[in-house]
């Protein structure tokens, strides 16, 4: 098995785990849990570096703003992460 395929498989598993963490964060935002729980803090610590820049860009856009009711950053993060994985996969496996 080529090394590039193994690297791509590892990246795919990492992205899947990241997707589940973002999805868990979305569900946690709907529930009345405090952020003092260690598991919730862990999920927020791993997902905030991805979601915060997207959220900041959305707030600066004409569609967003400080009063934005729905946070679309997880949806955009899903698409961007998959796009990056697809580009990396094509670069690694095109040979």
Please provide the DSSP assignment of 38-92 as one string.
HHHHHHHHHHHHHHHHHHHHHHHSTT--TT-SS--HHHHHHHHHHHHHHHHHHHH
The pLDDT value recorded for residue 63 is: 63
> What is the pLDDT at residue 26?
94
Domain of 81, in residue numbers: 3-93
pLDDT at 1: 76
Q: Which parts of the chain register pLDDT below 70?
A: 62-68, 95
Domain count, the chain: 1
Residue 94 in 3-state DSSP?
coil
**Which pLDDT does position 60 carry in this prediction?**
77
Query: How much is the pLDDT for 81?
Result: 96
pLDDT of residue 90: 93
pTM: 0.85
């Amino acid at each position: 098995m080529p090394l590039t395929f193994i690297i791509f498989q590892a990246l795919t598993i990492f992205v899947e785990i990241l997707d589940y963490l973002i999805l868990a964060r979305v569900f946690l935002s709907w529930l009345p849990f405090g952020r003092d729980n260690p598991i919730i803090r862990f999920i927020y610590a791993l997902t905030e570096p991805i979601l915060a820049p997207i959220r900041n860009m959305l707030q600066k856009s004409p569609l967003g703003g400080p009063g934005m009711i729905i946070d679309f950053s997880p949806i955009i993060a899903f698409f961007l992460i998959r796009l990056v994985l697809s580009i990396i996969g094509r670069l690694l496996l095109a040979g």
